[in-house]
Structure 1
Amino acid sequence: MTDTVTVVVSRVMPAPPAVVFDEWLDPEALQEWMCPNPVRVVEVTVEPRVAGTVRFDVDDSGTRVLISGQFLTIDRPRLLRFTWSNSNWEDPSQASIVAVTFEPVGVDETLMSIEHTLLPTSEFESFHSGWIDTFAQLAARLTSTVR
């Protein structure tokens, strides 16, 4: 068994939980905000049901990376859990787990938290900074589309 790490990131989003939650299941939205720039999501597959596929075809500065997983929990608008594997990891079959929680705070705001567990140790920095940047991109999208 490889050593693994957990990345935890939280941010208040400028929209109610149901709106923020739905961004995670909308392929067009995900293409816009998932993965930190300049990494681009080229194609998204989302089957929003337990055991359904979640898949991101990514262009990382000219390198194609496939991120794939399956939904474990879909509890709108509170919790999303899914597995996550990267084709460019040392062991591409290694599955990590992403849990995203959505808690209402203030007026029409959501405390969105992610706990990404079972990550390869070598990926901690990349995913920690990556989720922070990705959350910022989602916040910017919500600001421009909700208000």
Structure 2
Amino acid sequence: MNPDLDLSLERIIRAPRATVWSAWADPSRLEKWWLPAPMRCRVDQLELRPGGAFVTRMSDDDTEFVPHLDACFLAVDELQRIVFTNAVDSTWRPANPAPVTMTATITLHEHPDGTDYRMLVRHGDPESRARHDKLGFADGWGTVAGQLAALAESMAPR
């Protein structure tokens, strides 16, 4: 991690890695946690494989959904790692997304209490990192990690 270019968060999720993974891999589950509540998410494309599309829309009134993310998966190692970028869109065209271009790496590690869930978001320059941080990276990404944890923990076998 480069502290001048990257932002990161970590969370222990009290559920098995397979359960956390399924919350990423199933569009109907991803829609439940991907955006901070009360925003609503709709998944248009979720091809969890290298080169696959990752397209979501968002709504604050649950009726009109507007574009949120048009990205491409770069690497997918089942139960271990997901890497996606919005620098390339879902059709593999170069993109210049607002408000910031980023590449995110999500890693899942075994932990005695469940899953060690880590998010590393890389930026191309210090200004982009600072902009993302100022826009509320920790609150936004932290909130969705919390929502993912709540969903995965509710799905976990007791």
Q: Does 1:11 align with 2:21?
A: no
Unaligned runs of 5+ in 2: 88-95
User: In structure 1, what is the Cα distance between the partners aligned to 2:16 and 2:147?
Assistant: 17
Question: Which residue of structure 1 aligns with residue 131 of structure 2?
Answer: 122
Asked if the contact 2:19–2:155 (Cα under 8 Å) also holds between the matched residues in 1, the reply is: no
Q: Are the structure 2 counterparts of residues 68 and 123 from structure 1 closer, same or farther at C-alpha, using a change threshold of 3 Å? A: same
Higher strand share: 1
Unaligned runs of 5+ in 1: 86-90
The alignment's TM-score, normalised by the length of structure 1, stands at: 0.82
- 1:105 to 2:111 alignment: yes
What is the rounded CA distance, in whole Å, between the counterparts of 1:6 and 1:59 in structure 2?
Answer: 28
Q: Aligned partners of 2:19, 2:65: CA distance in 1, in Å?
A: 32
Matched residue count: 138
Question: Whole-Å Cα distance in 1 between the matches of residues 65 and 138 of structure 2?
Answer: 21
Shift of 1:95: 3.3
The percent identity for this pair of structures is: 25
Cα deviation, residue 60, structure 1: 4.5
TM-score, normalised to structure 2, is 0.77
1:5 positional shift: 4.1
Q: CA RMSD in A?
A: 2.2
Alignment check: 8 A CA contact 2:17 2:109 kept: yes
Aligned to 1:48: 48
